[in-house]
Amino acid sequence: MDPRLEQRLLATRRHLLGGMAGGIGGMALASLLGERAGAAGTAVGRPASVDPADPMAARQPPLPARAKRMIVIHLTGSPPHLDLYDHKPELVRRDGQECPADTIAGKKFAFTSGVPRLLGTPRKWTRCGESGMELSDAIPHLHRVADRLCLVKSMFTDQFNHAPAELMVYTGSPRAGRPSLGSWATYGLGTENANLPGFVVLISSGVQPNGGTSSFGAGFLPSVFQGVQCRSKGDPVLYVSDPPGMDRSMRRRTLDALRDLNELQARELGNPETVTRIAQYELAYRMQASVPEVMDISREPPAVLEAYGAKPGSPSLANNCLLARRLVEEGVRFVHLFDWGWDFHGTNPAEDIRDGLTRKAATFDRPAAALIEDLERRGLLDDTLVLCTGEFGRTPFREGRTAAGAILGRDHYPDCYSVWMAGGGVRGGLSYGESDDLGFKAARDQVHVHDLQATILHLLGFDHTKLTHRFQGRDFRLTDVHGRVVKDLLA
């Protein structure tokens, strides 16, 4: 027997009356609360409701927004911030000395034990732009846009292993199953182009994120809000193209039949995910025509390709930065780039903070600077927030496994690291926060991962405590029960 029918047959009169009593009381309470909510409207900071039949429809944020869209560049593995963004002359002076006891007492590290030796940076440093922001010689192109960067040098997190730390940055929890930042953004705002996904993911260097698809998943939000992974080589989106033997008209008839069946099920069971599924099928059909065009960077002028270092058909970060600009220009709300290869332990020459970092940074520095300049030239930077981050930082000492070798590398480090933002309402030319003289902890103006998330949502027009979704009896949010808006970062 159908278990739903069996449940109805087993319901007694006592169950019926009890349910009615609860229902009547609930209706009365809802009416009272509804009057208050109606009086307050969205002024209290709650987002507009999502229409299951059109979940990606554009919605206005409840608060004034500085950013309409967002691009995230995630350097998977976490770059050595002490060799890129946070110059420590005292650490250089004490290079090779044992770490002071109080800096490592009671701490655990991923691959280091005992008493490690301090590692000063071998990089050269320059004060850049009118702001005098200090940046290393590994990222010379970013020197040009220093006055557009909002550099936070006092970040910290709770996690020191890759997957939990990456999930912490993008879902607010070190465990899989929560919605990602891009999912929360599209859940609150929808998208501006009905023919493209609201949340696009692009991956370079051939490796998936440490957190897997959970780093861009929808968690317990409707699945339409998860990131859609696109490719710069081959079919832009897997499984969207018509299979052999099926033309466009046959696909349309197939989808119409599926829609009719799903609508029958939706009317019978009332599951909003069924309505969402209909919307996803329709989006996929529209994407067949719209995605190949926007993903074709060969349409760009040669000078633009040269500025990014992009080569059509190559799955590179340069191509993906250019694609990010094309996507947001076409109305995509959130673009998330993941680039593998930033785990600088020093276990091989590619992970050496000298030549290895020079080579790897060259694949990122030029397109990242070009992206900022291109967005600004097209009038998009003011309302497009760009974030560049890893999942944590790197140690001020040599990594334990490679400490006796000729290759210089650093271990994972959660207590202090650097990220930067640009555009979208942040203060350009700002170096915010400070680590101690040796780079062991955030000594001034500390910014936790949850604080960064709260600030991002504020820039997008949300009170992070009110952008919530009820699941298993609890209102969940990106920042969990933590977070504060760092107002000093705002323009």
Q: What is the pLDDT of residue 130?
A: 97
Burial 118-138 (b: 16+ CB within 10 A, else e): bbbbbbeeeebbebebbbbeb
Rounded to whole angstroms, the Cα distance separating 342 from 360 reads 8
The mean of the pLDDT values for the chain is 88
Reported confidence tier of residue 258, pLDDT bands at 50, 70, 90: confident
Reported confidence tier of residue 287, pLDDT bands at 50, 70, 90: low
Q: What is the pLDDT of residue 247?
A: 74
* Residue pLDDT, tens place only, 326-349: 999 999 999 999 999 999 999 999
Reported confidence tier of residue 200, pLDDT bands at 50, 70, 90: very high
387 sits in which H/E element: strand 384-389
Q: What is the pLDDT of residue 424?
A: 97
Q: Does residue 228 contact residue 180 with C-beta atoms inside 8 Å?
A: no
Mean pLDDT of 196-224: 93
* Residue pLDDT, tens place only, 364-384: 999 999 999 999 999 999 999
Residue 85: both structure tokens together? 């963004």
Q: Does residue 478 contact residue 414 with C-beta atoms inside 8 Å?
A: no
Mean pLDDT of 403-421: 96
Rounded to whole angstroms, the Cα distance separating 475 from 372 reads 36
Rounded to whole angstroms, the Cα distance separating 248 from 234 reads 20
DSSP letters spanning 391-433? SSEEEEEE-GGGTTSSS--EEEE-S-EEEEEESTTB-TTEEE-
339 sits in which H/E element: strand 334-340
Ramachandran category for residue 128: left, alpha or beta (phi over 0 → left; psi -120 to 50 → alpha) = beta
Q: Using CB atoms within 10 A of its CB, is residue 264 exposed (0-12), middle (13-18) or buried (19+)? A: exposed
Reported confidence tier of residue 50, pLDDT bands at 50, 70, 90: confident
pTM: 0.86
**Interhelix angle for 317-329 vs 272-294, to 10°?**
110
Q: What is the pLDDT of residue 47?
A: 72
Rounded to whole angstroms, the Cα distance separating 286 from 377 reads 30
The one-letter amino acid at 52 = P
Q: What is the pLDDT of residue 293?
A: 83
Rounded to whole angstroms, the Cα distance separating 340 from 387 reads 16
Q: What is the pLDDT of residue 168?
A: 98
* Residue pLDDT, tens place only, 140-184: 999 999 999 999 999 999 999 999 999 999 999 999 999 999 999
| Chain CA centroid to CA 331, Å | 18
CA torsion, points 125, 414, 99, 134, in degrees to nearest 10?
10
Ramachandran category for residue 121: left, alpha or beta (phi over 0 → left; psi -120 to 50 → alpha) = beta
Q: What is the pLDDT of residue 2?
A: 43
Q: Percentage of residues in the chain with pLDDT exceeding 90?
A: 72
Statement: residue 1 has pLDDT above 70: no
Q: What is the pLDDT of residue 45?
A: 56
Bridge partners, 220 (sequence order): none
Bridge partners, 448 (sequence order): 156
Please tell me whether residue 74 adopts helix, strand or coil conformation.
Answer: strand
Residues making up the chain, counted from first to last: 491
What are the CA-CA distances from residue 81 to residues 18, 92, 245, 356, 441 (Å)? 61, 14, 52, 14, 13
Rounded to whole angstroms, the Cα distance separating 381 from 378 reads 8
Residue 57: both structure tokens together? 């429809």
The one-letter amino acid at 74 = H
Bridge partners, 337 (sequence order): 73, 202
**Which residue is associated with the tokens 């006055």?**
147
**Interhelix angle for 355-377 vs 317-329, to 10°?**
20
Q: Is the Cα torsion angle 165, 167, 173, 175 positive or negative in sign?
A: negative
Q: What is the pLDDT of residue 463?
A: 97
Q: What is the pLDDT of residue 42?
A: 39
Statement: residue 37 has pLDDT above 50: no
The one-letter amino acid at 480 = D
Bridge partners, 128 (sequence order): 133
